Amino acid sequence: MKQIFKNCYAFDDVKISKKPIYVEDGIIVEAFKENEADQVIDCENLTLVPSFVDMHVHFRDPGFTYKEDLETGSHSALAGGYTSVLLMGNTNPTVSSPDIYNDIIKRGKDLDLIDIEQVYTITENFDGKTLDHLDSMPESVKYISDDGHGVNDDMVMYKAMEKAKELGVVMTLHEEVDEVSDVDYEIAEDAMTLRDCYYSYKLNCPVHFSHVSTKGAITAIKYFKDLGAPITCEVTPHHLLLADKGREEVKVNPPIRTDEDRLTLIEMIKNGTVDAISTDHAPHSKEDKGKGAPGFIGIETAFSTCYEVLVKSGEISLNDLIKIMATNPSKLLGLNKGKLEVGYEADFTLIDLDESYIYKEEDIKSKSKNSLLIDQELFGKVKKVYKKGVLKYADNR
């Protein structure tokens, strides 16, 4: 199958091009004659970028599928321009056994919608102490995480890092000292981040810090990265968008911070400290949100949010945004995508950067509707998504 994508402005992390893109059997190739193409896709008035990759997502499957499942979550991801996600393990049962892990991976492949990667838990069933289950962990696991919980015991984390290094997996960490968080969540995040930055540095263990939200935490990360520690990190769209006013009413973990924190995160994007933007897409039912469940959906609106906060505002270029939404997370997950170069997979997202739209509840693809942005005007509309050259999503609104 030979395809040509033409008449678009194409952006990746470094390039801007008006040249056609040539694809054969789902892979970007060198140019060939147009009469050799099986399909010519006219992308007039649209911007073509590598599809986005989200390193922090909750699809609630198994155990909480009344909130989301692999299929609805995948459609939600496609609507946001994503073709790859890394799922967290706080399901029921938790992802602490090969059977649960393998079942999720198999069902994700059978859906044939997006690429689904799955973390394994650091401690067995989030008990905060047991690591024996890691010995039977499937070889395909790339990341381990107790997301939603910090590993509070210092020695358990020390041993977990040694084990992760031995097994060749990366830890993606939710940083929160439980006993402190009820009193001061800023210190709770900062203190554990400092510990794990130091452990990573001394043990030379790769660590990825999830949803970094404070000035203190991101400053510590930069310090240890500059020392040469094998550290990467992500921030969320909502921590870049929201701050100060009304932040106590927005239930999310970690919470919405001050404007000083928000502006520091943006500066750390600009200086290259931040490696990725991840959504922490967290579907909840209306009843669960009413009971105080933290988090909200965000994978469908992530690009529009970041485009407005970072690009339209003049903070960074669109190339820089693609770098932290597609190129870098692809590298971190070991995926052959995220760039518009020969040999890379043809995962493309086509966007109308000039289109504004109202995000309506009835348009949400997620099973849950707990978005902060319902009825808000957003910019940068995802119009089509191709995975290895196959059309997986088209906006018909």
Task: State the catalytic residues.
Answer: 280
Per the CB < 8 A criterion, the answer to whether 168 and 127 are in contact is: no
Question: What is d(CA 92, CA 19) in angstroms, rounded to the nearest whole number?
Answer: 48
In the sheet that holds 207-209, the strands lie side by side as 143-144, 170-173, 207-209, 231-235, 276-277
Structure tokens at 40: 């010519």
Per the CB < 8 A criterion, the answer to whether 282 and 238 are in contact is: no
Helical spans, DSSP H, in 142-184? 154-167, 178-181
Per the CB < 8 A criterion, the answer to whether 234 and 209 are in contact is: yes
User: How many other CB atoms are found less than 10 A from the CB of residue 314?
Assistant: 7
Per the CB < 8 A criterion, the answer to whether 58 and 281 are in contact is: yes
Question: What is d(CA 1, CA 125) in angstroms, rounded to the nearest whole number?
Answer: 45
Helix, strand counts (H, E) of the chain: 12, 18
Question: Chain-centre distance of CA 188, in angstroms?
Answer: 23
| Type and span of the H or E element at 3 | strand 2-6
Q: At what angle do helices 185-203 and 154-167 cross, to 10 degrees?
A: 40
Total residues found in the chain within this entry: 397
Buried/exposed 13-30: b ≥16 CB within 10 Å, e otherwise: beeeeeebbbbbeeebee
Per the CB < 8 A criterion, the answer to whether 173 and 150 are in contact is: yes
* Amino acid, res. 300: E
Task: Report the SS3 class of residue 117.
Answer: strand
Question: What is d(CA 82, CA 54) in angstroms, rounded to the nearest whole number?
Answer: 7
Per the CB < 8 A criterion, the answer to whether 157 and 235 are in contact is: no
Please give the DSSP secondary-structure letter assigned to residue 321: H
